[in-house]
C-alpha cells in the first residue's frame, strides 16, 4: 500500500462502523478511498443533487441542513454523511456545506453497497446513524434546533485589539503579535466619535502586504478590508455563523450600539459548538485512552453551563448529562476490554440512580453494578471482572464522577452478581423489606443497562414493576422511607437551614428537594406499574392512573421543575465562577422571586408527602 493509503487505513480503523469490520476488508477500503478538499463555505451538494459517494470527514466540519434550510446536524472529524442519498436512489435530501476548510475521504457507491449487503453492523449504522450508540439522547435533536439561542456576545473573551488608520502595517503586525490575536480593528478616531473603519487579518498581511512586496511603512488604511460586515451584540450565534458563511469571513467584529466590543473568529464559533452534548459524546467515543477521556471532563461541564444559559429545562439538561455519563462508561468499558481481552462470560454493566433516571447534573458520584451470566464462576472469572470494575471506576473518578461514599460500585464484589442472584436479591428486598434493603431499593430500583447484554437490565426492571405492584407491605415501607427527608420549611413557612459545618445556614436542594420528590414519585410509579425511569415520565404515568387528588399532579411537576432549575442554575454559576459546584444554596443569594417560589414548591412537596402517608399507610409496614 502507498503511504497515503496507509494513513487512510490508520484513520478508518478508529471510526465506526469501519472499526467493526475485518482487517482484510479495511485494507481493501483504504485502496478504494478518494480524497477531496473543500474550502470553508463550500456547498458539497444541494437538495436533489446526485450522490455517488459515502463521505467520511478526516478533518474540518460540515453542516447538514433540511430541505427548508433548517439546521439538521453539525458533523466533525470521524463523522459520515451522504449515506441517505446512497440508500434513496442516489438523490440527496440533506444539503451539506463545509463550516471550515474540510478534508474528506470519499468511498465509491459500489463499495458502499457491497459493505451494506455483506456486513450487518455496517448496514445498521448507516441506516440509523450515530444515535444507535446512544440511548435516551432526545436532547441532542433539541440542541440542534431550539438550543442555538446563545448571544454572540457570550463568545467574546477579551476587549477588541485596535489601531488608528494612520498607523503602518508594521505597527499593526507588531501589535497583533504582542496581543496574540489574528485580527485587528482599524479605527477612525477623527472628532469625538470613534468608528470602525476596517479590519486587518493575518491573511491580509500575507496576501496584501508580503505577497505584493509592499513596504512595512504602508498605512493600514491602504490594505485594510472596508465595507465592514459586523454583528450586533444581541444577535444569536447561529445568525453570526450564517453571516460568516455568507460572506466567507473568518473574523466578525461585534458592535454594541455602534461601538466595537470584540471580534469573534470562526474558531470561536466552532469552540462554542464543540460544547454541545453531541460533540462531547463524539469526542468521548474517539478518545484512545483513559487519560484522554479525563481531558473531556471540562467539556462536559461547559456543555452543562451552555445548556443552562440557553434556558434548557431540567429534563433536557438531566438527559444530556446522563447521555454524557453513559458515554464515559461505555468508552471506558471498550478500553477495558481492549486492555484485558474479551470477557470470559457475558455481562451487563449497570448505571444506577440519577444517571439511570436521566436526571444527572455536574455534582454527582458514581453508582454502578454488574450483572453476570449464570455461567460465571468466581474462582475462574472474578479476577477479570475485578480488574474491569477497577479500570472503569478509576476512569470515571478521573473524569469527574467521584467514588460512591456508600461503596455502591462494581468494584465492590457484593454488587457483581449473576442474573439469578440479582433476581433473588430483588425478590428478597421486596418480600422482606428492612432498613438496609429499602435503602438499596431506592438506589437499585433506578437501573439502566449501559453496556453488554442490555436486555438483562430490562428483565430486572420488569421484575421490579411486576412484584412491587403486588406487595402493599413493600409499598408502605417505601412510602415510610420516602417521608424521612422533609422539605426545609418551618412552622411559619420560613426556611429551615442545614447545620452541618461546611454548609452551615444553607439549604441542600438535593437532599431536601429533588431527592424526596423523586422518592415519593417512585412509590406512586411502582404502585401503578409504571415502567418509566425518569421522574417526569413516571409522574405522567401516575397522573394518567388518576390516583392523585385533582390538580396535584401538575403541581408536583411544577415544583420538581422549579427546585431542579434553582439547583441547576446555582451549580452553573459556581462552574462559571471557578468554584466547585455543590447542592447547597444560601437564601440570601436567592432572588425574591426564587425565595417566594421555592417556598411554594416546598409546600407542594410537603402536601404530597402527607398524601403519600394517607394513601400507603406506612405505619402498617412495621
CATH code for position 205: 3.10.580.10
Q: Are residues 209 and 352 in the same domain?
A: no
Given this model, what pLDDT does residue 620 score?
Answer: 62
Please indicate, yes or no, if residue 146 is contained in any of the structural domains: no
Instruction: Report the SS3 class of residue 411.
Output: coil
Q: What is the CATH number of the domain that holds 552?
A: 1.20.120
Q: What is the CATH number of the domain that holds 366?
A: 3.30.460.10
Please indicate, yes or no, if residue 35 is contained in any of the structural domains: yes
The residue out of 470, 493, 508 marking a domain boundary is 470
Q: Measured between alpha carbons, how far is 11 from 107 in angstroms, rounded to an integer? A: 14
Q: Are residues 166 and 307 in the same domain?
A: no
Q: Are residues 124 and 215 in the same domain?
A: no
The overall longest dimension of the chain from CA atoms, in Å, is 93
Q: Are residues 585 and 483 in the same domain?
A: yes
The residue out of 444, 470, 496 marking a domain boundary is 470
Please indicate, yes or no, if residue 268 is contained in any of the structural domains: no
Q: Are residues 90 and 126 in the same domain?
A: yes
Please indicate, yes or no, if residue 150 is contained in any of the structural domains: no
How many other CB atoms sit within 10 Å of the CB of residue 327?
25
Q: Are residues 558 and 589 in the same domain?
A: yes
Q: What is the CATH number of the domain that holds 38?
A: 2.60.120.10
Q: Are residues 438 and 326 in the same domain?
A: yes
Given this model, what pLDDT does residue 149 score?
Answer: 52
Cβ-contact 64, 75 below 8 angstroms: yes
Query: Tens digits of per-residue pLDDT, 346-397?
Result: 999 999 999 999 899 988 889 999 999 999 999 999 999 999 999 999 999 9
Taking only Cα atoms into account, the Rg of the chain, rounded to an integer number of angstroms, comes to 28
Q: Are residues 345 and 453 in the same domain?
A: yes
All residue ranges of the chain with pLDDT < 70 are 1, 67-68, 70-72, 127-150, 190-193, 238, 242, 245-248, 270-278, 491-493, 498-504, 619-622
Please indicate, yes or no, if residue 149 is contained in any of the structural domains: no
Please indicate, yes or no, if residue 271 is contained in any of the structural domains: no
Q: Which of 297, 243, 303, 304 is nearest to 274 (CA)?
A: 303
How many other CB atoms sit within 10 Å of the CB of residue 607?
16
The residue out of 419, 436, 470 marking a domain boundary is 470
Query: Tens digits of per-residue pLDDT, 430-454?
Result: 999 998 999 899 899 999 999 999 8
Q: Measured between alpha carbons, how far is 355 from 363 in angstroms, rounded to an integer? A: 12
* Number of structural domains found in the chain: 4
For residue 204, give every residue at least 6 positions away whose Cβ sits within 8 Å of its Cβ, in sequence order, or none. Answer: 223, 224, 225
Instruction: Report the SS3 class of residue 127.
Output: helix
Q: Which of 314, 318, 323 is nearest to 351 (CA)?
A: 323
Given this model, what pLDDT does residue 422 score?
Answer: 96
Q: Measured between alpha carbons, how far is 65 from 289 in angstroms, rounded to an integer? A: 33
Cβ-contact 255, 243 below 8 angstroms: no
How many other CB atoms sit within 10 Å of the CB of residue 343?
18
Q: Are residues 446 and 590 in the same domain?
A: no
Q: Are residues 465 and 489 in the same domain?
A: no
Please indicate, yes or no, if residue 438 is contained in any of the structural domains: yes
Residues written for the chain: 622
Given this model, what pLDDT does residue 451 score?
Answer: 92
Which residue shows C-alpha cell 441506516?
Answer: 127
Q: Are residues 392 and 328 in the same domain?
A: yes
List 59's β-bridge partners, or say none: 103
**C-alpha cell of residue 252:** 466578525
Please indicate, yes or no, if residue 514 is contained in any of the structural domains: yes
Domain extent for 27: 3-133
Q: Are residues 331 and 379 in the same domain?
A: yes
- Secondary structure of 149-175 in the HEC alphabet? CCEHHHHCCCCCCEEECCCEHHHHHHH
**C-alpha cell of residue 277:** 452534548
Amino acid at each position: 500500500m502507498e503511504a497515503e493509503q496507509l494513513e487512510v487505513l490508520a484513520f478508518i480503523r478508529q471510526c465506526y462502523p469501519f472499526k467493526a469490520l475485518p482487517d482484510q476488508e479495511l485494507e481493501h477500503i483504504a485502496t478504494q478511498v478518494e480524497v477531496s478538499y473543500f474550502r470553508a463555505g463550500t456547498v458539497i451538494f444541494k437538495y436533489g443533487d446526485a450522490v455517488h459517494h459515502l463521505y467520511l470527514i478526516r478533518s474540518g466540519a460540515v453542516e447538514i441542513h433540511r430541505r427548508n434550510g433548517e439546521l439538521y446536524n453539525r458533523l466533525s472529524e470521524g463523522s459520515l454523511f451522504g449515506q441517505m442519498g446512497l440508500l434513496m436512489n442516489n438523490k440527496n435530501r440533506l444539503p451539506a456545506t463545509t463550516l471550515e476548510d474540510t478534508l474528506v475521504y470519499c468511498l465509491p457507491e459500489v463499495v458502499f453497497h457491497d459493505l451494506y449487503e455483506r456486513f450487518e453492523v455496517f448496514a445498521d449504522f448507516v441506516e440509523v446513524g450515530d444515535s444507535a450508540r446512544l440511548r435516551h439522547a432526545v436532547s441532542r435533536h433539541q440542541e440542534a434546533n431550539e438550543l442555538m439561542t446563545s448571544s454572540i456576545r457570550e463568545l467574546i473573551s477579551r476587549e477588541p485589539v485596535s489601531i488608528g488608520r494612520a498607523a503602518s502595517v508594521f505597527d499593526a503586525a507588531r501589535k497583533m503579535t504582542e496581543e496574540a490575536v489574528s485580527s485587528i480593528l482599524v479605527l477612525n478616531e477623527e472628532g469625538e466619535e470613534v468608528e470602525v473603519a476596517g479590519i486587518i487579518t493575518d491573511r491580509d498581511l500575507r496576501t496584501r502586504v508580503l505577497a505584493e512586496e509592499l513596504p512595512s511603512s504602508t498605512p493600514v488604511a491602504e490594505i485594510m478590508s472596508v465595507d465592514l460586515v459586523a454583528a450586533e451584540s444581541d444577535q444569536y450565534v447561529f445568525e453570526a455563523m450564517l453571516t460568516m458563511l455568507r460572506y466567507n469571513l473568518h473574523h466578525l467584529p461585534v458592535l454594541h450600539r455602534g461601538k466595537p466590543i470584540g471580534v469573534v473568529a470562526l474558531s470561536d464559533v466552532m469552540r462554542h459548538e464543540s460544547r454541545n452534548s453531541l460533540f462531547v459524546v463524539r469526542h468521548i467515543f474517539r478518545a484512545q485512552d483513559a487519560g484522554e477521556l479525563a481531558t473531556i471532563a471540562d467539556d462536559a461541564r461547559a456543555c452543562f453551563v451552555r445548556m443552562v444559559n440557553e434556558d434548557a429545562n431540567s429534563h433536557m439538561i438531566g438527559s444530556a448529562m446522563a447521555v454524557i455519563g453513559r458515554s464515559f462508561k461505555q468508552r471506558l468499558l471498550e478500553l477495558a476490554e481492549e486492555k484485558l481481552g474479551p470477557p470470559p462470560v457475558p455481562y451487563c454493566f449497570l448505571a444506577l440512580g440519577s444517571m439511570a433516571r436521566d436526571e444527572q447534573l455536574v455534582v454527582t458520584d458514581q453508582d454502578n453494578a454488574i450483572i453476570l451470566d449464570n455461567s460465571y464462576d468466581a474462582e475462574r472469572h472474578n479476577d477479570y471482572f475485578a480488574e474491569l470494575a477497577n479500570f472503569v471506576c478509576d476512569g470515571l473518578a478521573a473524569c469527574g464522577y467521584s467514588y460512591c461514599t456508600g461503596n455502591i460500585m462494581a468494584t465492590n464484589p457484593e454488587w457483581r452478581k449473576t442474573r439469578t442472584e440479582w433476581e433473588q436479591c430483588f425478590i428478597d428486598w421486596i418480600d422482606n423489606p428492612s432498613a438496609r434493603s429499602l435503602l438499596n431499593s431506592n438506589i437499585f430500583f433506578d437501573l439502566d443497562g449501559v453496556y453488554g447484554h442490555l436486555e438483562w437490565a430490562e428483565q430486572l426492571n420488569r421484575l421490579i414493576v411486576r412484584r412491587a405492584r403486588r406487595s402493599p407491605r413493600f409499598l408502605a415501607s417505601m412510602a415510610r422511607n420516602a417521608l424521612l427527608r422533609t422539605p426545609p420549611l418551618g412552622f411559619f413557612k420560613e426556611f429551615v437551614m442545614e447545620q452541618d459545618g461546611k454548609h452551615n445556614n444553607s439549604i441542600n436542594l438535593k437532599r431536601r428537594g429533588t431527592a424526596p420528590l423523586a422518592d415519593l414519585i417512585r412509590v406512586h410509579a411502582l404502585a401503578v406499574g409504571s415502567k418509566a425511569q425518569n421522574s417526569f415520565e413516571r409522574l405522567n404515568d401516575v397522573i394518567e392512573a388518576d390516583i392523585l387528588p385533582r390538580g396535584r399532579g401538575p403541581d408536583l411537576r411544577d415544583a420538581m421543575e422549579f427546585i431542579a432549575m434553582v439547583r441547576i442554575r446555582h451549580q452553573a454559576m459556581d462552574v462559571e465562577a471557578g468554584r466547585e459546584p455543590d447542592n447547597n444554596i444560601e437564601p440570601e443569594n436567592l432572588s425574591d422571586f426564587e425565595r417566594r417560589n421555592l417556598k411554594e414548591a416546598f409546600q407542594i412537596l410537603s402536601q404530597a408527602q402527607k398524601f403519600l402517608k394517607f394513601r400507603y399507610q406506612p405505619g402498617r409496614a412495621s
